[in-house]
Structure 1
Amino acid sequence: MKKHVHLLVLVLAFAACRRNDDVSPMAPKAWAAKVQDTLALGESVRLAPLINPTAGVTYQWQVNGEVSGADSVYTFQATEGGEFRVVLHLSNNVGRDSLVYNIKVWGKYENGFFILNEGWFGTETGSVHYYAYGADTVNTRVYKKENPGNAFGTITNTLQYGAIYHNKLYMMLKAGGPLIVTDAQTLKETGRVESVADGNGMTFVGVDDNRGLIGAGDGIYPVNLNTLGLGGKIAGISGTVGNMLQSGDYIFAHTAADGLVVLDNATFGIVQKPYKATIGFVQGKDGLVYGAKDSLLMSIDPKTLELDSVKMPFHTVVPWGAWRSVNMTASTKENSIYIVRPGAGWAYGTQLYRYTSGNAASLDEPFITLPDGQYFYGSGVTYDPRNNELVITTINGPFSGSTNRLLFYDAASGALKKTVSFEGWYFPAMVVLQP
């Protein structure tokens, strides 16, 4: 009997050993339900992935290749703007695994848009405001806050134009003011041209990594984007130059003398002077470059330079003299061009028209009529692709006003979604969106 008991114990012990041998050690695995996030500066996120097994596992966190932690949990702090690749490496004596998080941190002025203001001529120079998406207020005079002590022109200069190119904001102050260049996300000044050629810079367009063009009161000047040194004036163009647009092999410039002038993108030589544009230019979703000639909405193919036109129920007005950027914009989601109808005489307009490509009847009636007591000012309208909205700048008088409003309209339906007001004699020139 004792022999049988001893045998049974040996059999059970052997079976137990075999079961333990069948359970092999495991390499660690990590999972997370959310591996992408977006943060504002100053925010943080706790990264706590599910890990199995945990016994005997070592951990290493890396942020953009730099070792940042050695625990199973990591708190990412948004201390600067940018794209961050946060990787957890984990291993034991059997194997290893990795888990990747992608985190976008908005720069200080990246998650919104700038409002460039002319300023009150003879009393105060221009200014830059900032609107953060989702806010109900406008953050005023942000350039001055970020660059204390830096002169922003004089009381006789007006900030009239700005453009973001390669993460730089180029701002042009008219009437003898400087071209000021800042980082587009921090608004810290990185350089300037104190006096632009004839002393009256108007506009800027980026061409490539090293070159840009400045439209001035007496023509167009190349500018080196690395040194901000100006080249000699481009031959064959005289008088005031307004908006410029680069597309494909060409640059389309609006000039007082010749209307539309097409330049070769490589040599800056004149290719054509296709029509006497009244205002211009914006590029539609269809790729065409749109401007206007009196009561005709004109388009030009940037590849073939073929022209087309459609009749509008009003005449456009040349901007020369008290020049402002073109009061047109284009949707990137639909084949729609939006254009402000000028007011009577010197008064500012109250109606916005929409042209749907190929549909002349779309111009029969105004798409938007402003609320009573409001008038377009400056360029007046900007299409924002982020929310498929039209951002409209208005003041409370037909000739001047100290109540400024941002109106947010649905670009497809024309419905007013939101109004944000701010007080002051700012005279908003244009809205500049982050790309």
Structure 2
Amino acid sequence: MKKSVLAFGAFIAVGVTSCSKNDKTEPQPAPEVNIVNVFSQNTVAQEDTLIFKVRATEGSTFAWSVDNKDVAVTDSVFKFVSKDLGEHTIAVRASRNDQTASSKASVTVFGKYKFGTFVLNEGNMTTENGTLTFISPRGVVTDSAYFKANGTELGNTTQDLYIHNNRVYIISQNGKTNAVGNSFNNDGLLVVANAETLKKVAAYNDELAALSWPTHVAVLNEENVIIRDNNGLSRFNTVTKALTFIKGSEYADKLTMAVSNNKVFASAGSKVYVVELNKDTITYALNMKASVSGVVKASDGNIWVSTTGSPNKISKINYRDYSVIKANDIAIGSLSAGWGATSGITAKGDTLYFSGAGTKIYRHIFSMGSTEFMVDAKTMVENANIVYNNIAVHPVTGEVYLNTIKGYGMDFLKNSIAVFNFNNGTTVSANYKDYTNFPAGIFFTYSYN
């Protein structure tokens, strides 16, 4: 009996031993992982930030990389910032229980200055060079942007800029020598830079020696850079370096020019000159029969022209045959360009704004023929005593930008770039204080796309 019990126990032990030998651990699944682009943006400006988050199986650890190079981030959130233009691949690897899985996302970095607002500053002509202030779409201000990009400065008394084919052209009145003959260390009369990065492409000085105090620039292509100076209009070929005076343009005004359909439109007293591609003589001189205070491209390619007289008028000109499509009388406010060098009108679509280079802003709806007073900036902006060049309307947001200074002498240091929003009442949506230095004008990159 005892032997039988022992034998049965041995059988059980063998059975248990056999079962444990056949037992296998089930393999753990690889973690699930996915990258989330928090802002849902596939493009970003240099030095701006995109945020990526990882969704993965609980208990996972993470390792991030950019362009196949590991970065020192092990958190579930990764902030991507880059100075390098072009496409980049962001990847995250999730690990759990010796199993790994990965996910990727692509993002394109464009130049810091591709989209936004430039304010060009003349500077004090006797002591310093011009500068360029940039406001990003997020409202971040970069002061002395050209200097920060190049380590060199713009010419003395910068006056105007134009963007064409991803290049920005900046003209200065005095270049390397100011009006009283003092020499300055800078890049000269006409500077050409990459419009996204502001890295200098070329600078021209001796080639433009025949010019007398150049003030404005408009570009049709590299061989047709139209420059206005005290003599009139000249065509500069940046390829051959040839400078050719455009016959018949002697009385071109010191005002911003407009470009539409490979034509330059420039004010000249009571006339508007038309300059065409590769032409060394003006194509047409449209007689407006009153003093022209502004020439601006309309959103449909035609041209807005403001004139002062009795009465003041805003006219729309056909860019093809130069006929007047329609002219509206302006009964209130001033269309004057003032003493500055920018247009007396600014337009977004069918809506135009003007201030007569003063603090009182008016709006004109062209299709309705209606004009209304909007605001006196003095009531909303501190130290808005002097308007330095004219207002400009943002071609995308419709906000109106106004440069003011407290006064001359050292009071110019108290200044503002005030942004007015008239979409629902009147508000100051932004006020960038103490960034300007005798501002020559406001330029939106979107206006040149």
TM-based fold match above 0.5: yes
| Partner of residue 400 from structure 2, selected from 390, 405, 430 | 390
Shift of 1:50: 7.3
Q: Contact 1:173–1:179 at 8 Å: present in 2 too? A: yes
**Distance (Å, rounded) in 1 between the aligned partners of 2:139 and 2:193:** 24
Query: Secondary structure at the residue paired with 2:221?
Result: coil
| Partner of residue 251 from structure 2, selected from 227, 230, 239 | 239
Question: Which residue number in structure 2 is paired with residue 200 of structure 1?
Answer: 213
Tell me, yes or no, if structure 1 residue 407 matches structure 2 residue 418.
yes
**Distance (Å, rounded) in 1 between the aligned partners of 2:336 and 2:397:** 30
**Distance (Å, rounded) in 1 between the aligned partners of 2:191 and 2:137:** 25
Q: Contact 2:224–2:278 at 8 Å: present in 1 too? A: no
Q: Which runs of 5+ in 1 are unaligned?
A: 1-28, 52-60, 89-97, 343-348
Over 3 Å counting, the alpha-carbon distance change for 1:268 and 1:400 in structure 2 is farther
Question: Which residue number in structure 1 is paired with residue 363 of structure 2?
Answer: 354
Tell me, yes or no, if structure 1 residue 189 matches structure 2 residue 200.
yes
Shift of 1:397: 3.8
More displaced, 396-405 or 111-120? 396-405
Over 3 Å counting, the alpha-carbon distance change for 1:384 and 1:81 in structure 2 is farther
Over 3 Å counting, the alpha-carbon distance change for 1:423 and 1:350 in structure 2 is same
Superposed CA offset, 1:186-235 (max 9, x none)? 3232211115332321111121355321122212222234x372331112
Question: Which residue number in structure 2 is paired with residue 285 of structure 1?
Answer: 299
Q: Contact 1:201–1:216 at 8 Å: present in 2 too? A: yes
Letter of the structure 1 residue corresponding to residue 304 of structure 2: Y
**Distance (Å, rounded) in 2 between the aligned partners of 1:335 and 1:82:** 37
Over 3 Å counting, the alpha-carbon distance change for 1:139 and 1:45 in structure 2 is closer
Over 3 Å counting, the alpha-carbon distance change for 1:305 and 1:68 in structure 2 is farther
Shift of 1:399: 10
* Max Rg structure: 2
Shift of 1:173: 1.0
What is the identity percentage for the equivalent residue pairs of Structure 1 and Structure 2? 19
| Partner of residue 143 from structure 1, selected from 143, 146, 152 | 146
**Distance (Å, rounded) in 2 between the aligned partners of 1:204 and 1:215:** 6
Over 3 Å counting, the alpha-carbon distance change for 1:130 and 1:303 in structure 2 is same
Scaled by the length of structure 1, the TM-score of the pair is 0.72
Question: Which residue number in structure 1 is paired with residue 171 of structure 2?
Answer: 172
Tell me, yes or no, if structure 1 residue 422 matches structure 2 residue 434.
yes
Shift of 1:406: 1.2
Tell me, yes or no, if structure 1 residue 311 matches structure 2 residue 334.
no
Query: Secondary structure at the residue paired with 2:168?
Result: strand
Question: Which residue number in structure 2 is paired with residue 6 of structure 1?
Answer: none
More displaced, 113-122 or 74-83? 74-83
**Distance (Å, rounded) in 2 between the aligned partners of 1:291 and 1:32:** 52
Letter of the structure 2 residue corresponding to residue 163 of structure 1: Y
Over 3 Å counting, the alpha-carbon distance change for 1:264 and 1:393 in structure 2 is same
Tell me, yes or no, if structure 1 residue 119 matches structure 2 residue 123.
yes
RMSD (CA atoms): 4.6
Which residues in structure 2 correspond to 1:65-84 (within 5 Å)? Answer: 78-80=81-83, 82-84=85-87
Query: Secondary structure at the residue paired with 1:278?
Result: strand
Over 3 Å counting, the alpha-carbon distance change for 1:101 and 1:215 in structure 2 is farther
Question: Which residue number in structure 1 is paired with residue 159 of structure 2?
Answer: 160
**Distance (Å, rounded) in 2 between the aligned partners of 1:253 and 1:326:** 11
Q: Contact 1:81–1:108 at 8 Å: present in 2 too? A: no
**Distance (Å, rounded) in 1 between the aligned partners of 2:354 and 2:280:** 29
Superposed CA offset, 1:256-301 (max 9, x none)? 4x63012233535433211245222212334431121211112202
Letter of the structure 2 residue corresponding to residue 152 of structure 1: L
Over 3 Å counting, the alpha-carbon distance change for 1:375 and 1:329 in structure 2 is farther
Tell me, yes or no, if structure 1 residue 335 matches structure 2 residue 350.
yes
Over 3 Å counting, the alpha-carbon distance change for 1:286 and 1:190 in structure 2 is closer
Q: Contact 1:377–1:427 at 8 Å: present in 2 too? A: no
Over 3 Å counting, the alpha-carbon distance change for 1:282 and 1:101 in structure 2 is farther
**Distance (Å, rounded) in 2 between the aligned partners of 1:76 and 1:418:** 27
Query: Secondary structure at the residue paired with 1:187?
Result: coil
Shift of 1:146: 3.3
